[in-house]
A and B are shown apart, each in its own frame.
Chain A
Amino acid sequence: MLYCPSNTFVNYRYNSATNRASDPFYPIASRLRAGYALCWGVRWGQPLPSATRMMSGSTAIITDVCDVRAIMLYQHRKGANTVYGDGHAAWVGWSKISTAYGGIPWSGISQVNNAAMQAYFTALAQ
């Protein structure tokens, strides 16, 4: 499980009151959360990209939590750390992602957000 030390929101901190990594009896409704989002994890009900595309050095596959803007306020504010298909990681500056960021809803994860998530990961692509 990976945690971003820059994310200060209680739901995404390591072993916090609402994200308890060490408790096997933690309520199932309050899921254990990583501090990063996977490109196929935030696009609900969508098929996985092809293996060739996922292993491409230009395809962003993991980045800081990006499901909703309410949560994104509590992490990096000038860009996003991103992992690409070939395993390399890079910092993507705000200028490249600001438009796509504006399309992400404030709250509420659902399939309605798929298009915004697609646009955000496309903006992260190198």
Chain B
Amino acid sequence: MTSARKTGHPGPRGPLFLRWGALAIIIVALASAWRPLAAWMAPGTLSVTEVRGVWTLDPEAMRRRWGGDFGITDQDLEHLQQRLAGLRIDLSGPEAVVTVAGTTVTHAWHSTPDQGKAPAVTVSWKQPVPVLGTGTSFTRIDGHLAIASEGALLLVRRAP
């Protein structure tokens, strides 16, 4: 009766320290990956990397997402397009630049750290912007990027 354990030789599964080492590596990897994973899964939270770029209104996505009995109507969309004519939010540089109806406002943008969650990306304007008010947060709704302000919730897409 000679088994690997009795003779002291490594068994078919390898030496004990290798097995425990592999387990420790897996535990450390899971622990370090948990926070970004949890942040990615959390609704309404975004990283700065995700919002970097130039954004514009996405009326078709809004119609698909919110069209219907309680949701957005063609009249609402038309009204929004009038008030947000040429909406362009440029977050490609260190300063946010928003242009609405020919008016351009610039202000620093930043992420707000949150307890154990991904940061919320917020932009505050030097002067109120039509519909967007004095500040805007980037958020995610059903996988689509949205901007939320005081009283505004709009889906956006990357500008062509």
Contacts and interface: CB of A to CB of B under 8 A. Distances in A.
Given A16-B44, A105-B79, A70 B124 contact: no
B135 to A, nearest CB: 3
Main secondary structure of the interface of A (DSSP, over half): loop
Nearest to A68: B151
Given A29-B124, A30-B124, A11 B71 contact: no
Nearest to A70: B153
Main secondary structure of the interface of B (DSSP, over half): strand
Range of interface residues on chain A? 20 to 34
Interface in B62-87: 66, 70-73, 76, 79-80, 83
Contacts of B114: 17, 20
Contacts, number: 97
Interface in A1-55: 9-11, 16-18, 20, 22, 26-31
A30 B72 CA distance: 25
Nearest to B151: A109
Determine which residue in B42, B73, B150 has the highest number of CB atoms from chain A within 10 A of its CB, and name it.
B150
Contact of B152 (A18, A28, A107): A107
B140 to A, nearest CB: 9
Interface stretch (B4-12, B15-23, B115-123): B115-123
6 tightest CB-CB pairs across the interface, nearest first? A29-B124, A10-B44, A109-B151, A29-B135, A17-B120, A70-B153
Interface of B: 42-45, 66, 70-73, 76, 79-80, 83, 110, 112, 114-115, 117-120, 122, 124-125, 130-131, 133-135, 137, 139, 148, 150-154
